[in-house]
Structure 1
Amino acid sequence: MSSQMLNRQAVSARAFGRAAGRSRSSVRVMASAKPLTFSKYQGLGNDFILVDNRHTSEPVVTPEQAVKICDRNFGIGGDGVIFALPPVGDTDLTMRIFNSDGSEPEMCGNGIRCLAKFVSDIDNAAPRKYKIHTLAGLIQPEMLADGQVRVDMGTPILEGPKVPTTLAPTQGSTVVQQDLVVEGKTYKVTCVSMGNPHAVIYSCDGEPIKIDDLDKELAALGPKFERNAVFPARTNTEFVEVISRSHVRMVVWERGAGRTLACGTGACALVVAGILEGRVDRNQVCRVDLPGGPLQIEWRQSDNHIYMTGPAELVFSGQLRA
């Protein structure tokens, strides 16, 4: 991992903290008299408002406005607003995203598939690979002939302080199956960053996670992990049930968005964690069943990169007026 990417992560973590501190009471109506042209896309139910922002280097929507736009009762509704911005260096474009709470994460796996499909659709482009600059570094989604999107997610970050977490390492500098007590229960946590932080949990109180048993508790449990003091930049949390060594189920509590139907970076992180814990085989594609549907995840030994394959679909397009 380059020092440039780590610097971006540090800047992004600080930006996330500042944005997350804004309350909903600060939301204001969009002041621009010009309608906002948008398209809504979803990847396995993880839905986003996409804006073609390539004419200017700053998002045309503020974090406060994004909160209102993402409101499912008074706005368009979505897990975040994604902007296609001008390229940086040797890239095709830049990705920025504001979560539904106004915070800005480093990257979003389902979101970047949606962004690639959005740009491909509006440019009427043939299936191709894109080089996209993000706050987590270079990410490369590829439009496939069958309509799926395969994303080269790069290499996972495993050093605890760089995830970041203050949990003590258990394997070299990596936090693998470390104890974390939440609400009187001891969870085994493995920490992975895919450019954004993840806490992956396969067991609790010595028993394997069962998604059907845990599902109803997620709304109360998720925030206790997201805002736990051991995660200084907050964290995404994945609870995982093993079906086989190449097939798992998960539910997710996303930092800044809460419960969502899918999390692409989370699916990547949990496969890495499963391999580190000896629960998942590395030399094959792993199917990850999310509430919104399956993703195919592969951590290749040949280049140490993680590849994610899944859908991205247009829901509708429109204009939002002030």
Structure 2
Amino acid sequence: MHGAGNDFIVLNGIDQDLSTITREQWKALAHRQFGIGADQILLVEKATRPDADFRYRIFNADGGEVEQCGNGSRCFVRFVLDQGLSSKNPLRVEVAHTILSLKSHPDGQVEVDMGAPIFEHSQIPFDASGLKSIQDFQEMLYAIPLDHPATHDSFVGVLSMGNPHAVQVVVDIESAPVLEEGPAIEGYPAFPNRVNAGYLQVINRNAIKLRVYERGAGETLSCGTGACAAVVSGIRRGLLDSPVTVHTRGGDLQIAWAGIVNDIAQSVIMTGPAVTVFEGEVRI
């Protein structure tokens, strides 16, 4: 399946036991030459808590398990409904740290309540010790020193959408050093669990272009949590107004965020496509 070009293997872990698959086997399945090929692998499982309909697990192309995947969550609900695993709409889905509400629309678009963004450094997690910082409206930006000769310190806004993101604003998205800087930012020691590196170009107050270098996957055609993080960061920097259309290389996403109301961060609402490409079986 794919969500705006961000492609996934989606597996039914309810009718079969997939608990013994190893990291190397996940990695082999995601390999584009020797496996099926995918940015991430999504696993549908029975819920472990009473307030959820399903459990949702995500494995990156490098075989490592991660906390969240926004584009994948839309494909998750489309898979569950199309496979007849449930007729509920919306669905409540258990991920690593929270419950997501997923709603399928008649036009094929899927709406996801992604929950509230997290700014507390310990919860991202992010260690700002020793980093230069500047205040930009409501957002604190931090300088990530990079060794790449074509770059300089990259000032990023840091937050979590269930997974960590470092977002920077660029003048031109096409010439942004995503592939040069992305790996260095992803693995920078201030991010103990690594980080997704987002590059945001403002088109107008309700539209942006976005590229994301994702943890464990490299640059992808789209990143749902990255789109949410970019819009939140852009609003907090005074650059954007909700709702925002996010143009990625794989397609468009609609992101809405009401900001912080009475000191409480509101949920981010993401709407976008979820498409099945093909179905099949693989022997592991």
TM-score scaled by length of structure 1: 0.79
Distance, in Å, in 1 between the alignment partners of 2:243 and 2:139 is: 24
Q: CA deviation at 1:124?
A: 7.2
Aligned pairs for 1:1-322 (under 5 A) are 41-55=1-15, 59=19, 61-89=21-49, 90-123=51-84, 128-167=89-128, 176-182=140-146, 183=148, 184-202=151-169, 208-214=170-176, 217-281=177-241, 284-301=242-259, 304-322=266-284
Asked whether the 8 Å contact 1:225–1:237 carries over to 2, the reply is yes
Distance, in Å, in 2 between the alignment partners of 1:176 and 1:234 is: 19
Q: CA deviation at 1:42?
A: 0.5
SS of aligned partner of 2:279: strand
SS of aligned partner of 1:96: strand
Structure 1, unpaired ranges of 5+: 1-40, 203-207
Runs of 4+ in structure 1 off by over 6 angstroms are: none
Query: Cα deviations across residues 272-293 of structure 1 (Å, max 9, x unaligned)?
Result: 1001111112xx3100111101
Query: Cα deviations across residues 18-72 of structure 1 (Å, max 9, x unaligned)?
Result: xxxxxxxxxxxxxxxxxxxxxxx10011111111111467635322111111111
Distance, in Å, in 2 between the alignment partners of 1:61 and 1:108 is: 20
Distance, in Å, in 2 between the alignment partners of 1:138 and 1:58 is: 22
TM-score scaled by length of structure 2: 0.90
Quote the sequence identity (%): 38
Distance, in Å, in 1 between the alignment partners of 2:225 and 2:38 is: 18
Q: CA deviation at 1:212?
A: 1.5
Asked whether the 8 Å contact 2:114–2:268 carries over to 1, the reply is yes
Distance, in Å, in 2 between the alignment partners of 1:86 and 1:56 is: 11
Paired amino acid for 2:48 = V
SS of aligned partner of 1:212: coil
Q: CA deviation at 1:229?
A: 1.1
Q: CA deviation at 1:88?
A: 2.1
Asked whether the 8 Å contact 1:238–1:252 carries over to 2, the reply is yes
Structure 1 or 2: more helix by fraction: 1
Query: Cα deviations across residues 77-101 of structure 1 (Å, max 9, x unaligned)?
Result: 1112111010122110000111110
Distance, in Å, in 1 between the alignment partners of 2:134 and 2:17 is: 42
Distance, in Å, in 2 between the alignment partners of 1:191 and 1:252 is: 14
Distance, in Å, in 2 between the alignment partners of 1:163 and 1:304 is: 17
Paired amino acid for 2:175 = D
Asked whether the 8 Å contact 1:160–1:175 carries over to 2, the reply is no
Distance, in Å, in 2 between the alignment partners of 1:115 and 1:124 is: 11
User: Residues 241 and 125 of structure 1: is their aligned pair in 2 closer, same or farther, counting only changes over 3 Å?
Assistant: same
Q: CA deviation at 1:309?
A: 0.1
Query: Cα deviations across residues 208-252 of structure 1 (Å, max 9, x unaligned)?
Result: 4311211xx422321100001111110001001000011000111
Distance, in Å, in 2 between the alignment partners of 1:124 and 1:131 is: 13
Distance, in Å, in 2 between the alignment partners of 1:67 and 1:137 is: 26
Asked whether the 8 Å contact 2:52–2:92 carries over to 1, the reply is yes
Q: CA deviation at 1:165?
A: 1.1
Paired amino acid for 2:127 = T
Asked whether the 8 Å contact 1:66–1:80 carries over to 2, the reply is no
**Pairwise CA RMSD:** 2.0
User: Residues 261 and 62 of structure 1: is their aligned pair in 2 closer, same or farther, counting only changes over 3 Å?
Assistant: same
SS of aligned partner of 1:294: strand
Question: What is the number of residues matched between the two proteins?
Answer: 271
Match of 1:28 in 2: none
